[in-house]
Amino acid sequence: MKGDDKMERFDGYLFSKLHLIGSKSEGPTYFLQQFDYKEYEVIKHAHLWEEDPELHKFLARKVTIEGAMSLNGIVYKNIMKYKPTGVKGEKRLVVDLKLGTDILWVNKMPPGPQPSQPMDLTLMVKWPYRSIWEGLCPSTQMYDFFIEHEGKTIWTWSQGKVFAQVITPVHIPGGDFHEFPEVWKVNPEDIVSEGTYTARAIFIASGQEVSKDFEVKMAH
């Protein structure tokens, strides 16, 4: 980025689209959907057919980007987890994450392939007011789940799933929690060590995230 470019702040939801030319992939193109629902391409720091590792780790998250607007899109210098501007009195959803267990026992005996083990994950969303919360998602995907260990994501619920790329209204009536349950089908072969793992969920329409730790132990 040129030194005389004016640095700006861009807040929104980061997502990507994969373009195909014949049988060859052009690689992901990254977009920022701002809170007024305008979309801008975020120019990646990588070859056309490659992922941008810095952008890719913030996919499906609410982010703050520092950079400059060009004719082709946002030329980013820094990207980080969304930093609110500190508006006082802003009403927000209440989000929570419920896990099926605090200790996941993984059976790796006898040696060899083992059947998958289910672990329940439930994203809980509540609007604690006598009204209806309204938001938008950039696709039909409303939420996502992740399992992380030692700073690496080892499972993403949405991976391999297809969602229509259409703006999707989301309405949460006031009152009780609304639950979004999914299941992580744990492949014992993917668990290489015991320790503390993190389950993380995001409610895409509001950009809010919630996470909880759990322990993984090997059953001998």
Residue 12 has pLDDT above 50, yes or no: yes
For the domain made up of 94-219, give the CATH fold.
Immunoglobulin-like (2.60.40)
User: Does the CA dihedral 88-93-96-97 come out positive or negative?
Assistant: negative
Nearest CA to 104 out of 59, 68, 154, 65 is that of: 154
User: Does the CA dihedral 44-45-50-53 come out positive or negative?
Assistant: negative
* 18-69 pLDDT per residue, tens: 765 455 567 889 999 887 677 899 999 998 888 999 999 999 888 999 999 9
Position 202 scores a pLDDT of: 94
Domain boundaries, the chain: 8-81, 94-219
- What are the C-alpha distances in Å from 101 to residues 61, 97, 118? 26, 12, 10
User: Does the CA dihedral 59-88-135-36 come out positive or negative?
Assistant: negative
Task: Tell me if 80 sits within 8 A of 14, measured CB to CB.
Answer: no
Indicate the helix (H) or strand (E) that contains 54: helix 53-56
Cα angle, residue 30 at apex, residues 12 and 158 outer, rounded to 5°: 85
Task: Tell me if 34 sits within 8 A of 40, measured CB to CB.
Answer: yes
Structure tokens at 113: 């392939």
Instruction: Label the pairing between strands 208-219 and 103-107.
Output: parallel
* 83-131 pLDDT per residue, tens: 766 545 567 899 999 999 999 888 766 666 666 788 999 999 999 988 8
Give 22's contacts (C-beta < 8 A, 6+ positions apart).
none
